[in-house]
Structure 1
Amino acid sequence: MDTLHIDGQVVLVTGAGSGIGHAIARACVAEGATVHLADVSDTVHDAAGKLAEESTGAGTVASHVCDVRDKDAVRVLLDDVVAASGRLDISFLNAGINGVPSLLQPGGAIDELSFEAWRGVMDVNLDGLFHSLQHSARVMKKQRSGSIVVTASTAGLRAEPRVSYPYVASKSAVVGLVRQASLELARFNVRINALAPGPVVTNIGGTGPRPAAAVAAWEDSVPMRRWGRPDDVAGLALLLASGASSWMTGGIHVVDGGASALTQIPSDALPAPDTTAL
């Protein structure tokens, strides 16, 4: 029977400098994999060095600076991984941003949102994923083996007023992209699946403190009554990468503390016209 273990596998993680990506990288190192961390910031080198020092597993660590918006840089990244390690067994395509006002915040309405804000999120979350998926597939199709795990979101499965228009749109597109790619890659013995996390404590919306009311509102939307932690997602990521999921592809796998099973906010909490101005 196939197991959850990925020891000896060569792994790439994008967006690995912090948050979910870093938790996945740490889990892979602990499992004995050779892990390549990639991030847009050169702080990824420090993150990788610390991970190597702290790890009690048999895995090894390398780090790369790469802006996934740059298709040529992504091609070089994948070529560098293969040149260094000989192959690529697992790609965790996790890089993503938000940082744009939600539907419930000032500036987040459809007629207030700037195209620059829209484009900035789409450039990373959709175009950046496309580049990373394209070059991971290029390598794995040639090998006739591999597993790709993409970070989508529960916001890609339903309307979510607590996040921004471009985030919902980009993650919805990611879901479709994963399903479409699974049709092509299956004959090459390459699997692709998506994680769909709910609210997880990361820096995706910025590094500053979150308003207490917003934190409480998110917690109220989760039946398990807490935000997720990056480590809560890493276990599912390992399952989808490993041989234990060898007959799973094209799936969107929710990890959200039960949030997507719960009704969203009441309709009277949605933005409404200002009747006092009439």
Structure 2
Amino acid sequence: MERFAGQVAVVTGAGSGIGRELARGCAAEGAQVHLVDVNESVREVADELGGVAHVCDVSDPGAVRAVFGGLESVDAAFLNAGVNGVPSMLQDGGALDELPFEAWRRVLTVNLDGLFCCLQESARIMKRQQRGSIVVTASTAGLRPEPRVSYPYVASKHAVVGLVKQASLELAGYGVRVNAIAPGPVVTNIGGTAPRPEAAVAAWENSIPARRWGQPSEVTDLALLLADARSAWMTGGVHLVDGGASALTQVLSSELPGARR
């Protein structure tokens, strides 16, 4: 039996990567899927799945309100939209005293403000209908410092984790669950579409006990479970799917900027 037959699912950041795989998983399980993305490419994914495309900047409250305002009900909301594309402290231009404020704000605006807008609209619908599951894409970078990741990404994902836990407290009494998934390094284009330098890829792989990057499909299975009735007693959690990366130190002290040799 299809897990989400007759249900309505909303997926943000659905044009590529984890969001696209989430949309495919929802559709395969019988859901009517509403795909949200800032890029026009989301229309192609929606056509492929028989879903409904919404070209929308999630950091625009009015645009998000228009998407959710057109829905009579939402059974599952996968709030996945996010950006990075900013150098880390280990890269040129990513040091604390070099990072442009505009780069900081761009990431925070999408990853945090955008999440808040979508979380707020999801809550309005789900509180009214007294049911629903919200699954947020956080990151291992929201649970620990990660020198290979930019300052605004780490800051935004730490805030995302707090927001998920806080919202879960309010919404539990309305029959609404809020959980987060925390992926480690996954093959997506969140850092840009340009090929990653081989040295950087190898450095990341050396920080993952499984010795490889994850695939979006390996993350989405967990997210779909959290929207499923079989996880009905799970809320307020942050669930790792990272090949063991968070159990291992990401870099040695000798690799940090300014370290004494």
TM-score range, shorter-chain basis? over 0.9
SS at match of 1:37: strand
Unpaired stretches in structure 2, ≥5 consecutive residues: none
Work out whether 1:23 is the aligned partner of 2:21. Answer: yes
For residues 226 and 16 of structure 2, the distance between their equivalents in structure 1, rounded to whole angstroms, comes to 20
**Counterpart residue identity of residue 99, structure 1:** G
Residue 90 of structure 1 is matched in structure 2 by 76
2:198 corresponds to which of 212, 216, 231: 212
SS at match of 1:32: coil
1:250 corresponds to which of 233, 236, 242: 236
2:34 corresponds to which of 33, 36, 48: 36
Work out whether 1:66 is the aligned partner of 2:38. Answer: no
What does residue range 142-157 of structure 1 map to in structure 2 within 5 Å? 142-157=128-143
Residue 131 of structure 1 is matched in structure 2 by 117
For residues 28 and 64 of structure 2, the distance between their equivalents in structure 1, rounded to whole angstroms, comes to 26
What does residue range 116-195 of structure 1 map to in structure 2 within 5 Å? 116-195=102-181
Residue 114 of structure 1 is matched in structure 2 by 100
Q: TM-score if structure 2 supplies the norm length?
A: 0.97
**Counterpart residue identity of residue 253, structure 1:** H
For residues 185 and 273 of structure 1, the distance between their equivalents in structure 2, rounded to whole angstroms, comes to 46
Residue identity (%): 66
**Counterpart residue identity of residue 123, structure 2:** A
Structure (1 or 2) with the larger CA radius of gyration: 1
For residues 17 and 29 of structure 2, the distance between their equivalents in structure 1, rounded to whole angstroms, comes to 19
Residue 91 of structure 2 is matched in structure 1 by 105
**Counterpart residue identity of residue 54, structure 2:** H
Kindly indicate whether the alpha-carbon contact (under 8 Å) linking 1:4 and 1:242 is maintained by their aligned counterparts in 2: no
**Counterpart residue identity of residue 182, structure 1:** S
Work out whether 1:269 is the aligned partner of 2:255. Answer: yes
Residue 11 of structure 2 is matched in structure 1 by 13
For residues 150 and 4 of structure 1, the distance between their equivalents in structure 2, rounded to whole angstroms, comes to 22
Kindly indicate whether the alpha-carbon contact (under 8 Å) linking 1:4 and 1:239 is maintained by their aligned counterparts in 2: no
Kindly indicate whether the alpha-carbon contact (under 8 Å) linking 2:14 and 2:37 is maintained by their aligned counterparts in 1: yes
SS at match of 1:254: strand
For residues 23 and 43 of structure 2, the distance between their equivalents in structure 1, rounded to whole angstroms, comes to 13
**Counterpart residue identity of residue 74, structure 1:** V
Kindly indicate whether the alpha-carbon contact (under 8 Å) linking 1:4 and 1:244 is maintained by their aligned counterparts in 2: no
For residues 73 and 195 of structure 1, the distance between their equivalents in structure 2, rounded to whole angstroms, comes to 25
Unpaired stretches in structure 1, ≥5 consecutive residues: 53-59
* Deviation readout 1:161-202 (Å, 9 max, x if unpaired): 000000000000000000000000000000000010000000
SS at match of 1:24: helix
Runs of 4 or more above 2 Å deviation: none
SS at match of 1:35: strand
Kindly indicate whether the alpha-carbon contact (under 8 Å) linking 1:4 and 1:243 is maintained by their aligned counterparts in 2: no
Q: TM-score if structure 1 supplies the norm length?
A: 0.92
For residues 78 and 160 of structure 1, the distance between their equivalents in structure 2, rounded to whole angstroms, comes to 34
Kindly indicate whether the alpha-carbon contact (under 8 Å) linking 1:17 and 1:47 is maintained by their aligned counterparts in 2: yes
Kindly indicate whether the alpha-carbon contact (under 8 Å) linking 2:79 and 2:119 is maintained by their aligned counterparts in 1: yes
SS at match of 1:148: strand
**Counterpart residue identity of residue 47, structure 2:** G
Kindly indicate whether the alpha-carbon contact (under 8 Å) linking 1:4 and 1:238 is maintained by their aligned counterparts in 2: no
- Count residues in correspondence: 261
- Cα drift, residue 263 of structure 1: 2.0
